[in-house]
Amino acid sequence: MSAGSTALIARKSIRARWGRTLAIGFAITAGVSFVVGSFVLADSLRATFDDLFQELGEDVDLSVRSAQQFETDDARDPISVEIAEPIADVDGVAVVEPTLQRYAQLVDDDGDVITPAGGPTIGVSWLGDDGIQGVTIKEGEPPTGPDELAIDKATADAEGFDIGDSVSYITDVGRFEGTITATIGLGSGDSFGGAQLVALDLDTALEHFGADGMVDAIDIQVAEGADIERVQRDIADILPERTEVVTGEQVAQETADDVNQFVDVFGTGLLIFAFITAFVSAFIINNVFQITIGQRLRELALLRAVGASASQVRRMITFEALALGVLATVVGIAGGVLVARGLIFAFDAAGAGFPDTSTVLAVRTVVMAAIVGVGITMLSVIVPARKAGRIPPVAALRPEVGFVAMRTRRLVAGVVLTIAGGALFMVGLFARPGGTPGLITLAGGGALVLFLGVASLSSTIARPVTRAIGWPVQKLFKVPGALARENVARAPRRTSSSAAALMIGVALVSGAAVFASSLRSSLVDALESSVTADYIVTDRSFQGLSPVVSETLADVAELGAVTPVRGISGQVEGDTKNFGAVDPAAFEQLIDPDLRAGSIADLGMDELLVHTDPAGDLDLEVGSTVDVVYQNGVTGTLTVAGIYGDAFFGNWLISLDTLESVSTAPARDFFVIGKLAEGVAPAEGDAAVLAAMEPFPQANVQTNAEFRESQEAQINQLLIIITMLLAFAIAIAVLGISITLALGVFERTREIGLLRAVGMNRRQTRRSVRWEAVIVSIFGALIGIVLGTFLGVVLSLAVPDDVISQLAFNPSIIVLILVAAVLAGLVAALYPSYKASNMNVLEAIATE
Amino acid sequence: MTTPTPPPPPPAPSAADGPVSVAGSIAAAGTVDARKTYGIGDAQVHALDGVTVSFETGKFTAIMGPSGSGKSTLLHCLAGLDTLTSGAAYIGGTYLASLDDKAITELRRTQVGFIFQAFNLVPTLTANENIRLPMMLGGESGDTAWVDQVITTVGLGDRLRHLPSELSGGQQQRVAVARALASRPQIIFADEPTGNLDSVTGAEILDFMRRAVNEFGQTIVMVTHDPLAASYADRIIFVGDGKITGEMADPTTDQVIDHLKSWT
């Protein structure tokens, strides 16, 4: 048996049917591009941040900072700037640079704050050229003294600031004015990751930022030739307690790791959607091969008749797919790199301000691309190739025999897959063997298997359902409508497989919609029942609110109760917990945390309110004691004063007094909540609060209703992002319907020719093809909605009641999906309907 | 028309365990009590109802019969394209029922040539590639001198590099005949090879087939319902209702027409 001949025939076949080849190729390429793009983007960002922080820390040999008892996301406690002096005296120390980062925001000529597109607003201390941090001067001289400042070049360019301009900026402690002496950047970049930056000399920074003699860290460069390890030991010897000296490399690595955690989450998220796209492509490829094998039935039978073995025919089809898969993968890898570059460019344009990003195409990425591209193609072709092998030689003379031989038993397989998939999905979500990875693998894999099962089962209901969908079409468009309806119904298998890809896309969108609706209504419910505060003041600066904000609010006469919400992390029996701290008397009036035992207002020193879940886990009841080690090393014992059921503000609550007694860091507030005083009208209160917050642009004042809306908006935004990420898969699904339809038109050439011959005009022909596509799309969308709603409900039920307590459905989304399905059908029909209406009638009739 | 003396047949496979030879010459293929039934119960149709027939090596035999007589089924079963319900079919010394799909495929590729009424060629391959297809599938180049001779005889010239869709119906059939000849099969089966052609082109193809028998000693079995086509054969076998109803040696067109008239 010759491999050469099957390869030749396969190659010729690819070349002869380039339109179809292109379409399949595109489906593979799209999936591969998305996968490669996700990897390249994440790898490139990771490499960029690694490089960036290494570069920034290049001159920093050692860094002194406060020690943490255990690893936590909390900011480290600041250290006294006075430590810098003895450190500078240590033998071998060349440069000592205390670093400080606080809130600062520029103000324009009209007195309004300038807010960057996405980033935080930061004030830093800067020694200028003598410094060892990676900040570089783009233009000008370093600021010195209380009347000078430098700002980042990106902001200067965007806002039209020049060197020599006078500008105001706001900090935690007030408003200051200075002259811009320099524009600065981070390494080679003009921006600091999209942040707005105000840089002052150290003394000015300490004063203007209200740092009270405390800095974040002290960076050190050792003299040339000095032994770094020795210097490190010597510095360690003179440091106060709870302070440590680490290498610059370690700091760079820790910072990079922190950032890369986000990159990883982001990359993994993209990758999930990339695989969904690839999965949808597989359906299209499978369907197209299936159909074309039917169309090439006589050709394949002829090959069998003249001596090709069944395995040679199988090999030929497989080789065709392989060649296509390899080619499309190569194109897909190139496309993926472009996608990644395009996204980086888009982020940059949106103000993320990445420094020069290298493009990293790892070997792993290429391997994954090959596995996905070639893999999905080969998997998609297994069944069609086996069917091709089953075509008997006699089908060259009697095609009907061949079609019978190609039939498979899909019903049994469909039922088995559907049940197995559904079971896996539920086991993954509810039983959760193997933790989070097990959950994702089982639930994700189960959903995929479920899709396969439903796709093959849907053919059994395709005929009645599409007839029902087609009924109004027939009523509306008479003969073309009737033809569209009949053409869809007469090939239920083809209808269901071409609708399958769209079904998956729609199922995911509608599943996400159910989940989001349930999440939203549960959240709204929780907010309504537990938050009695009238105002919620959140932080825009990403650095926490200064206590001055809550103090100012507490002084507003129109407000009755005000409390800041602060926090600290601490370990209880070796597990890290986040402790929230509030003013108990005010908190009781502002929040109803569904108290089960004890009381809030009585929460005193060294007392604790705990959520019922951890209370149950640790066997706590009112009066029990808990030993805590805080991140700063301070230890304490808390007595349980109450147990509550609503985890809206976390699981562990202490009083501000307790926090103050254990904390060694200046207070920063997550947010501040407040309530109108008795008898004050809301409009009056709004005006008073806004007036009080005027000097604090970093404080975002929202009324209860506004806060709720912004929370809902965030969930809606999430749904929109998910839908946008699924758009790729849905576009491929629409392409799939288009290809199937075009192949169907081609198959029915003679039939369409006949219809045209007996008087159907071009417009009617187009119409009939167009509505055929719409019926198929609606069919796919309907099954998708049903399946997606099921998935969404199961998913919502699997989420703890704290987060999702009730199911909610959004009928407007379903309507939207159906409208989109009609549009998708119309788009899919563009080419096939043109093709059908532009046939040469005589030639069409002569076609065998 | 008289039968010219055929040249010696190509070396026959061992006939030791093969079917009985007929009338002194070696049988290239045949059936013994072949039955083929379609459907079940009342709907049963006996496409072949006990057909015993053999085809001489180096002879051109025509099978004639009205539509639904079973003549095509007989051809398909003889060629290993279809299987019998009972009875036996053989090619050379081999009973087809004893072979699995792989062996039958091998047999078709090496021992059998086909010419169909239409759709004879793989549309994506050139005429030249179509002719060499069976050899390519076997991973061999075949008898190059012989293949070249066949291609010359076909007389397609520069159209050999063209795709089937660029050839006329007659040219396509000539390529089909050349493909059937190229692997020097034991026997060629032709199913209404001129059914789709006008009379002049049809005559050309039949002439070509006749020459293959005369000059190369090729054995050909052809199903036709055209008396003129049948008259090119050395022998005609008449089939009706799944049975052999008669035969005629060295037929002329008029004889065939007279015979067909006698049916009605």
* Beta bridge partners of residue A565, listed in sequence order: A671
Sheet holding B27-38, edge to edge: B45-56, B27-38, B86-91, B94-95
Lowest-confidence pick of A244-248, A461-465, A844-848, B6-10: B6-10
Question: Which pair of structure tokens corresponds to residue A684?
Answer: 């009056």
* Chain B residues inside the 8 Å CB shell of A306: 108-109, 114, 133-134, 137, 179
Number of domains in chain A: 4
CB pairs under 8 A between A and B: 92
Q: Per residue in A804-831, pLDDT tens? A: 888 888 888 889 999 999 999 999 898 8
CB nearest B136 (choices: A8, A15, A392): A8
Dist CA A313 CA A306 (whole Å): 12
Taking residues A189-218, report their average pLDDT. 87
- In the block, tokens 């055209």 appear at B226
A43 assigned to some structural domain: yes
Lowest-confidence pick of A26-35, A395-404, B255-264: A395-404
**Interchain contact, B139 vs A2, CB within 8 Å:** yes
Taking residues A754-770, report their average pLDDT. 83
pLDDT of residue A166: 92
Dist CA B166 CA B225 (whole Å): 29
Whether A24 and A49 share a structural domain: yes
Asked whether residue A274 carries a pLDDT value surpassing 90, the answer given is: no
Taking residues B149-160, report their average pLDDT. 79
Burial pattern A160-188, b for ≥16 Cβ within 10 A else e, equals: ebebeeebebbbbbeebebebbbbbbbbe
- Is residue B123 helix, strand or coil? coil
Q: Which of B11, B55, B64, B52 is nearest to B29 (CA)?
A: B55
Smallest CA–CA distance from B77 into chain A, residue: A394
A443 assigned to some structural domain: no
Whether A93 and A198 share a structural domain: yes
Where are chain B's structural domains? Answer: 55-83+98-263
Dist CA B199 CA B177 (whole Å): 17
Whether A43 and A80 share a structural domain: no
* Chain B residues inside the 8 Å CB shell of A298: 119
A182 assigned to some structural domain: yes
* Chain A residues inside the 8 Å CB shell of B137: 1-2, 5, 303, 306-309, 312
Cα dihedral: A665, A671, A677, A680 (round 10): 140
Q: How confident is the model at residue A118 (pLDDT cuts 50, 70, 90)?
A: low
- In the block, tokens 């006990």 appear at B50
Asked whether residue B254 carries a pLDDT value surpassing 70, the answer given is: yes
pLDDT of residue A383: 84
Asked whether residue A843 carries a pLDDT value surpassing 50, the answer given is: yes
Whether A75 and A110 share a structural domain: yes
A223 assigned to some structural domain: yes
* Chain B residues inside the 8 Å CB shell of A304: 105
Residue B169 Cα to chain centre, angstroms = 19
pLDDT of residue A350: 66
Interface of A with B in 286-315 (CB under 8 A): 298-299, 302-310, 312
ipTM exceeds 0.85: no
Dist CA B236 CA B232 (whole Å): 10
Of A672, A695, A718, the one marking the end of a domain is A695
pLDDT of residue A405: 67
Residues in chain A: 848
Q: Per residue in A170-181, pLDDT tens? A: 988 888 999 999
* Chain A residues inside the 8 Å CB shell of B81: 305, 392-394, 396-397
pLDDT of residue B16: 38
Q: How confident is the model at residue B27 (pLDDT cuts 50, 70, 90)?
A: confident
Of A220, A247, A274, the one marking the end of a domain is A247
Q: Which of A765, A777, A783, A781 is nearest to A825 (CA)?
A: A777
Q: Which positions in chain B have a beta carbon within 8 angstroms of at least one beta carbon in chain A?
A: 72, 76, 80-82, 101-102, 105-106, 108-110, 114, 116, 118-125, 129, 133-134, 136-140, 179, 183, 191
- Burial label for A153, CB within 10 Å (0-12, 13-18, 19+), is buried
How much of chain B, in percent, has pLDDT values that exceed 70?
88
**Interchain contact, B116 vs A396, CB within 8 Å:** yes
Instruction: Name the CA radius of gyration of chain B, rounded.
Output: 18
pTM as predicted: 0.77
Dist CA A676 CA A534 (whole Å): 6
Asked whether residue B23 carries a pLDDT value surpassing 50, the answer given is: no
A186 assigned to some structural domain: yes
Q: How confident is the model at residue A109 (pLDDT cuts 50, 70, 90)?
A: confident
Question: Which pair of structure tokens corresponds to residue A554?
Answer: 């507490």
- Asked whether A772 and A484 are in contact (CB, 8 A), the reply is yes
For chain A, helix (H) and strand (E) counts, in that order, are: 25, 23
Asked whether residue A194 carries a pLDDT value surpassing 90, the answer given is: no
Longest dimension (CA), chain B: 56
Whether A258 and A185 share a structural domain: no
Whether A469 and A352 share a structural domain: no
* Beta bridge partners of residue A637, listed in sequence order: A627
* Chain A residues inside the 8 Å CB shell of B138: 1-2, 307
Taking residues A123-149, report their average pLDDT. 83
* Chain B residues inside the 8 Å CB shell of A308: 105, 109, 137
Instruction: Compute φ and ψ for A586, nearest 5 degrees.
Output: -70, -40
- In the block, tokens 């706590």 appear at A620
CB nearest A303 (choices: B82, B122, B139): B122
A719: domain range?
455-530+705-848
Question: Which pair of structure tokens corresponds to residue A308?
Answer: 């090709």
Taking residues A713-718, report their average pLDDT. 87
pLDDT of residue A352: 60
Whether A287 and A378 share a structural domain: yes
Whether A487 and A573 share a structural domain: no
pLDDT of residue A235: 92
pLDDT of residue A406: 64
**Interchain contact, A305 vs B108, CB within 8 Å:** yes
pLDDT of residue A122: 87
Q: Per residue in A459-496, pLDDT tens? A: 888 888 988 998 898 888 878 888 888 888 888 888 88
> Is the Cβ of A400 closer than 8 Å to some Cβ of chain B?
no
Asked whether residue A706 carries a pLDDT value surpassing 50, the answer given is: yes
Contacts with A191 (C-beta within 8 Å, 6 or more apart), sequence order = A152, A153, A154, A155, A185, A351, A353
pLDDT of residue A782: 94
Sheet holding A243-247, edge to edge: A93-99, A217-222, A62-66, A243-247
> Is the Cβ of A599 closer than 8 Å to some Cβ of chain B?
no
Dist CA A306 CA A391 (whole Å): 13
**B13 vs A29 pLDDT, higher one:** A29
Min Cα–Cα distance to chain A from B236, Å: 23
Whether A347 and A460 share a structural domain: no
Whether A655 and A730 share a structural domain: no
pLDDT of residue B21: 43
Whether A679 and A758 share a structural domain: no
Lowest-confidence pick of A135-149, A211-225, A263-277, A391-405: A391-405
Smallest CA–CA distance from A4 into chain B, residue: B139
- Asked whether A806 and A532 are in contact (CB, 8 A), the reply is no
Instruction: Compute φ and ψ for A105, nearest 5 degrees.
Output: -145, 135
pLDDT of residue B18: 43
Of A373, A408, A443, the one marking the end of a domain is A408
CATH fold label, B55-83+98-263: Rossmann fold (3.40.50)
Min Cα–Cα distance to chain B from A307, Å: 4
pLDDT of residue B13: 38
Taking residues B9-17, report their average pLDDT. 36
* Chain B residues inside the 8 Å CB shell of A402: none
How much of chain A, in percent, has pLDDT values that exceed 90?
24
Smallest CA–CA distance from A393 into chain B, residue: B81
Dist CA A187 CA A355 (whole Å): 8
Max avg pLDDT among B144-153, B192-201, B227-236 = B227-236
Dist CA A730 CA A708 (whole Å): 32
Q: Per residue in A589-629, pLDDT tens? A: 998 888 888 888 888 899 999 998 889 889 999 999 999 99
Q: How confident is the model at residue B1 (pLDDT cuts 50, 70, 90)?
A: very low
Question: Which pair of structure tokens corresponds to residue A618?
Answer: 């640790």
- Asked whether A48 and A182 are in contact (CB, 8 A), the reply is no
How much of chain B, in percent, has pLDDT values that exceed 90?
15
A431 assigned to some structural domain: no
A450 assigned to some structural domain: no
Whether A63 and A45 share a structural domain: no
